Chain A
Amino acid sequence: MPAAPPEATQDSTPHALLAFLHSQSQTTLTRLYQRPSSCLSMFRLLGPLERQLIMNLLWLDSAVPAQTMSAWVTQEGRKMYDNALVSLSKLHILSSSPVKLALNTTFKSSLRHAIVGGGTSGSFGVPAEPDRKHPPPSIETLDAYALERWETILHYMVSSGSGRFPARPSQGVLLLLQRSGLMTNMHGSALQITSSGFQFLLHTPHAQLWELLLQYLHMAEERQMDLVEVLSFLFMLSTMELGRDYSVEHLSGTQTAMLEDLRDYGIIWQRKASSRRFNPTRLATTLTSSAPPLPTAGNSSGSHQAQGFIVLETNYRLYAYTDNPLQTAVLNLFVTLKSRFPNLVVGAITRESVKKALANGITANQIISYLTTHAHPQMRKNKPLLPVTVQDQIRLWELEKNRMQSREGYLYTEFASQADYEYVLEYAKKLDVVLWENALRRCFFGSVEGHSNIRGFIERRSAGNV
């Protein structure tokens, strides 16, 4: 089994949303921080060191000299500490003063409210009055709904290339897929999956969800929706309780408009479109947590899928214990499927199948990480988890593809004399633009960037000679 990724790599990949938030203005963020639920959710997205720093400062009324705080940092932690401070001040959580450390006052009071309760913001969602006629849906219903919605989207993507078209997601979803570059309509009307779309399919459900939501946020900016309203609604959803009715009465106009989109993604459930209440699904309530599998992993539809279903042998044969068409379709991206049984799919990883996947833009590492995350519990006893031969071979196949490199450039030939040739070549070498040379034939190949210089040089030289 591959060892857990080293800490450094985990810490160097902060949550995708944070990069988006870094680019927002201070006023936007401060407006966002007015809601305790937003503060709490954002707090959870931060790294562990950043969270601890916030907590250290949360209950202090006055600013702390930066030196006092850094006295707590150990030698090894110095670099991460500095990074954490930079990241926090980019988010305007820390007020940007090099000498004193203090939290943004809005953020501080909201996070305090979130932790001790109280306040009147109602930011954790206003529960609906109990309804005698329509009791809230069971958690199984919600899970099944979220799963169905989410798999519809993924299934649509995965089978778009094959010519079969299963259920189409709604128009809003299609637009989002297209805008995010996951799908494109090259051939007239039908949408085609792109190479980034193939990569998307191999991500974890959590990463997929955020990828789409980020795209949604970008679109919201263009659609003149209030970004703060959109974000705080998402954050509010993430703090809601699964299986509880919430009322739509207290939502702003933007947020009411969002209900329809989120319903399409399977993030919320409504009895009917005009309903005055809504329920968050598991997709929503796990937005800011990471470990528990999303309903897409099959929490509701039998536990065997939740923790992986793939058995891979050293002879490249692959057995997938699944009856899920989506999972079969995803496997079909890089596996030659041989036979199908009611609960089992048998296939083999072959050179052709992997090459096909590589041609689609999927990388060897993505295939390996997909196989690792979905490995059957029986496989987890193996060390390393995946057979080394197969892993290496997949990587080798990828290298095979990279045997040839193409570079754009210009070929310079027919120099009048050897001296001319060498003179120009020397100049080109000084510019570091020579990709290939052949002294016998008096020609060399230079990259595009150097062309104008070389051309100018040759022209000046021939002008001088004449």
Chain B
Amino acid sequence: MDKASHLSVILDLSPVQWHLFGQSTNPFPLSLSSFLSQLLAFLNAHTACKDENTLAVFGAFPGKSVLLFSSTTGISEGDLGPADANTYRPFKMLDATIMKSILEELEELSGAQEESPLGLVGALTKALCYINRTSSAASSAPAARSEETNLPDPRILIISVSPDQPSAYIPIMNSIFSAQKLKVTIDVCKLFGSDSVFLQQASHLTGGSYIFLERPDALLQYLTMSFLPPPALRQLLSVPTQDKVDFRAACFCHKNIVDVGFVCSVCLSIFCQPVPVCSTCRTKFPIKTLQRLNASKPPAPTANRAAIPATSLPRSTSIGSGTPRLTPLSNGNGTVHPPSQNGTPR
């Protein structure tokens, strides 16, 4: 079990959300700079655990996503300044590179760009591609030793502060399926804002853990205890997992998160209301069915569920409770109970 592990971190760097988060009206405000210093300590700790541990950091900015750091690419000497006897050099390289690239990217953001949706999906996809590339390169290269053929235990940690974008439902689900196929664990750390339906599902489906931080000021302790141990170690030291997962999906027609949806029996597309023709596969549904569905549409969703014929099935399942979830998103969060440590990271 003592083998190298790979960690890809996806940082949600939406300026608007971080501004809101840092405002002193919050019970526990956290500024971007103090977040970054705690994050860097965590990343250093990951590298410290094993010399062969690899790391890649992706930033999700409004409208774009960028690879901020990866331990496989070389760094030019000039960026680092003189060597220092008091710091372990790889740590210094890591910290300097990440800070520099984040600053550059934030400088480049123009006012108009700040409004565009967050490039979370792009970052997630890039992280998956990175893992796929490094692991397949390792296995095809003749130099690889049998035990090193795969990038062992790859995982992705998403640190999110922004709310869900319903439009990103389909790409996120597709990324989840690729992650399952690559055997990548997705961990989610939600710092600010309401619970994210999609990210909950992402961590649930890939066996990772989703944590909503109740005390963001103890961020480093949360990160260390929950996200530092590689999957193999989590069998010995348990990490918090969700006991309730919000399984709601977004409809394909209006990108709304729906409690009760209608599913095309041919291609499994989800719609928020009965449609005569499936927009994805062009299947025509019988008029009779449509009429019956329209008649039995909410406000009687529970009765509707039983009456729906094979043509369309409700996708509203909430495995935690077994009843359709009609309540707003915010109170159905995955509850986790990390032990309340009395110390706080410096």
Whether chains A and B associate is yes
- A residues near B (Cβ < 8 Å) are 1, 4, 7, 10-11, 36-37, 40, 43-44, 47-49, 51-52, 55-56, 58-62, 64, 68, 71-74, 76-77, 80-81, 112-127, 239, 241, 244, 250, 286, 288-292, 303, 306-308, 377, 380, 385
Q: Which of B33-56 contact A (CB under 8 A)?
A: 40-41, 44-45, 48-52
Q: How far is the CB of A51 from chain B (nearest CB, A)?
A: 5
Q: Cβ of B341: which chain A residues have Cβ within 8 Å of it?
A: 60, 64
Q: A307 to B145, Cβ gap below 8 A?
A: yes
- In the assembled complex, the Cα of A115 lies from the Cα of B37 at a distance in Å of 11
How far is A345 from B85 in the complex, measured between Cα atoms in Å?
48
CB distance B51 to A44 under 8 Å? yes
Q: Is B220 positioned at the interface, with any CB of A under 8 Å from its CB?
A: yes
Whether A306 pairs with B86 at a CB distance below 8 angstroms is no
Q: What residues on A are CB-neighbors of B82 within 8 Å?
A: 127
Q: Is the CB of A58 within 8 A of B339?
A: no
Determine the chain A residues whose CB is within 8 A of the CB of B232 once the complex forms: 7, 48
Out of A47, A114, A125, name the residue touching B85 (CB < 8 Å): A125
User: In whole angstroms, how far apart are the Cα atoms of A306 and B148 in the complex?
Assistant: 13
Decide: A77 near B236, CB < 8 A? Known: A289-B51, A291-B52: yes
Q: In the bound complex, what is the Cα–Cα distance between A429 and B147 (angstroms)?
A: 53
Q: Can you identify 7 A-B contacts, CB atoms within 8 angstroms?
A: A4-B147, A55-B45, A62-B342, A77-B236, A77-B237, A112-B346, A117-B87
Looking at the complex, which of B221-229, B242-250, B276-284 is the stretch in contact with chain A? B221-229
Contact residues of B between 1 and 51, Cβ < 8 Å to A: 1-4, 40-41, 44-45, 48-51
Whether A124 contacts B52 by the Cβ 8 Å rule is: no
Name the residue of chain A whose CB is nearest to the CB of B220.
Answer: A59
In chain A, what residue has the closest Cβ to B91?
A: A117
Q: Do residues B52 and A76 form an inter-chain contact, with CB atoms below 8 A? A: no
Residue picked from A40, A51, A81, A127, most chain B C-beta under 10 Å: A51
List chain A residues, Cβ under 8 A from B236. Answer: 49, 73-74, 76-77, 80-81
Q: Does A49 contact B233, Cβ atoms closer than 8 Å?
A: yes
Q: Are B44 and A303 in contact (CB under 8 A)?
A: no
Q: Which 7 residue pairs spanning A and B have beta carbons closest together?
A: A77-B236, A289-B51, A60-B343, A122-B85, A117-B87, A127-B83, A61-B343
Task: With both chains docked as a complex, state the minimum distance between the C-beta of A58 and any C-beta of chain B, in angstroms.
Answer: 7
Does the CB pair B145–A43 fall under 8 Å?
no
CB distance B85 to A380 under 8 Å?
no
Bound: A1/B236 CA distance, A:
28
- Using Cβ atoms and an 8 Å threshold, which residues of chain B touch A7? 1, 232
Q: How far is the CB of A381 from chain B (nearest CB, A)?
A: 10
Cβ A60 vs Cβ B221 within 8 A: yes
Name the residue in A37, A120, A123, A307 with the highest tally of chain B Cβ atoms < 10 Å from its Cβ: A307
Given contacts A56-B224, A115-B45, contact A44 B86 (CB under 8 A): no
Q: Which residues of A contact B52 (CB under 8 A)?
A: 289-292
- Contact indicator A117/B237 (Cβ below 8 Å): no
Q: A179 to B3: give the CA distance in the assembly, Å.
A: 34
- Cβ–Cβ contact B2 & A10, under 8 A: yes
Contacts A36-B88, A122-B85 supplied; 14 other A-B pairs, CB < 8 Å: A11-B1, A36-B86, A44-B50, A52-B228, A55-B49, A59-B343, A59-B344, A71-B339, A73-B236, A73-B238, A117-B88, A127-B83, A244-B83, A380-B146
A40 and B88 within 8 A (CB): yes
In the complex the two chains form, is A68's CB within 8 Å of B87's CB? Answer: no
Whole-angstrom distance from the CB of A113 to the nearest CB of chain B?
Answer: 8
Residues of A near B111 (CB, < 8 A) are none
Flag if B143 contacts A40 (CB, 8 Å). Answer: no
Q: Which chain B residues lie closer than 8 Å to A239 at the CB level? A: 88-89
Asked if B327 is an interface residue, CB under 8 A from chain A, the answer is no
Measured CB to CB, the closest approach of chain A to B156, in angstroms, equals 19
B86 near A119: Cβ-Cβ < 8 Å: yes
Report the minimal beta-carbon distance from A392 to chain B, rounded to whole angstroms: 22
- Report A30 CB to chain B, min CB distance, Å: 20
Q: Given A77-B237, A115-B45, A241-B89, does the pair A307, B143 have CB atoms closer than 8 Å?
A: yes
State A225–B40 Cα separation when bound (angstroms): 39
The answer to the question of B92 belonging to the interface, with a C-beta cut-off of 8 Å to chain A, is yes
Q: When the two chains form their complex, are residues A115 and B44 in contact, meaning their CB atoms are under 8 A apart?
A: yes
**With A64-B341, A117-B86 in contact, is A51–B144 under 8 Å at CB?**
no
Instruction: Give the residues in chain B near A76, CB-CB below 8 Å.
Output: 235-236
Q: A117: which B residues are within 8 A, CB to CB?
A: 84, 86-88, 91-92, 95
Task: Using known A-B contacts A115-B45, A307-B143, determine if residue A59 contacts B2 with beta carbons closer than 8 Å.
Answer: no
Q: Once the chains bind, are A1 and B146 in contact (CB under 8 Å)?
A: yes
Of the candidates A43, A51, A81, A123, which one forms a contact with B86 in the assembled complex, judged by CB atoms under 8 Å apart?
A123
| Chain B residue with the shortest CB-CB distance to A236 | B85
Would you call B49 and A51 a contact (CB within 8 A)? yes
Complex interface bits, B255-268 against A, C-beta within 8 A gives 1, otherwise 0:
00000000000000
A241 to B90, CA, bound (A): 9
User: A306–B228 Cα gap in the complex (Å)?
Assistant: 31
B143: chain A residues at CB < 8 Å are 303, 306-307
CB-CB < 8 A to A1: which residues of B? 146
Instruction: Encode B289-309 as 1/0 by CB contact (under 8 A) with A.
Output: 000000000000000000000
Contacts of B139-182 to chain A: CB distance below 8 A: 142-148
Tell whether, in the assembled complex, residue B89 and residue A124 are in contact, meaning their CB atoms are under 8 Å apart.
yes
The answer to whether B48 and A44 have CB atoms under 8 Å apart is yes
Closest residue of A by beta carbon distance from B148: A291
In the assembly, what is the distance between CA of A406 and CA of B148, in Å?
A: 45
| CA distance in complex: A81, B41 (Å) | 25
Q: What 1/0 mask marks residues of chain B from 308 to 341 whose CB sits below 8 Å from any chain A CB?
A: 0000000000000000000000000000000101
In the assembled complex, which residues on chain A have CB atoms less than 8 Å from the CB atom of B142?
307, 377
8 Å CB contact of A122 from B1, B86, B144: B86
Residues of A near B145 (CB, < 8 A) are 307-308
**Residues of chain A within 8 A of B89, CB atoms compared:** 124, 239, 241
**In the assembled complex, B345 has its CB within 8 A of some CB on chain A:** yes
Which residue of B91, B144, B343 contacts A62 across the interface (Cβ within 8 Å)?
B343
A202 to B344: give the CA distance in the assembly, Å. 49
Bound together, the chains give a CA A302 to CA B95 distance in angstroms of 34
Collect the chain B residues with CB atoms within 8 Å of residue A36's CB: 86, 88
Task: Enumerate chain B residues within 8 angstroms of A289, measured Cβ to Cβ.
Answer: 50-52
Tell me whether A291 and B4 are in contact (CB under 8 A).
yes
Residues of A within 8 A of B51 (CB): 44, 286, 288-290
> Within the complex, what minimum Cβ distance (angstroms) separates B242 from chain A?
17
Scoring B48, B88, B142, B339 by chain A CB atoms within 10 A of each residue's CB, the highest score goes to B88
* A123 and B85 in contact, given A48-B1, A290-B52, A307-B144 (Cβ under 8 angstroms): yes
Instruction: Say yes or no: B88 contacts A47, CB within 8 Å.
Output: no
**Taking each of B143, B232, B236, which has the highest tally of chain A beta carbons within 10 Å of its own beta carbon?**
B236
Nearest-neighbour CB distance to chain B for A212, whole angstroms, equals 21
Once the chains are docked, how many angstroms separate the CA of A129 from the CA of B85?
12
Which residues from B are CB-within-8-Å of A74? 235-238
Question: Given the known A-B contacts A49-B236, A55-B224, are A120 and B343 also in contact in the complex, defined by CB atoms under 8 Å?
Answer: no
Min CB distance, B275 to chain A, in Å? 48
Asked if A56 contacts B225 (CB within 8 A), the reply is yes
Question: With A and B bound together, what is the CA distance between A47 and B237 in angstroms?
Answer: 14
Set of chain B residues within 8 Å of A124, measured between Cβ atoms: 84-89
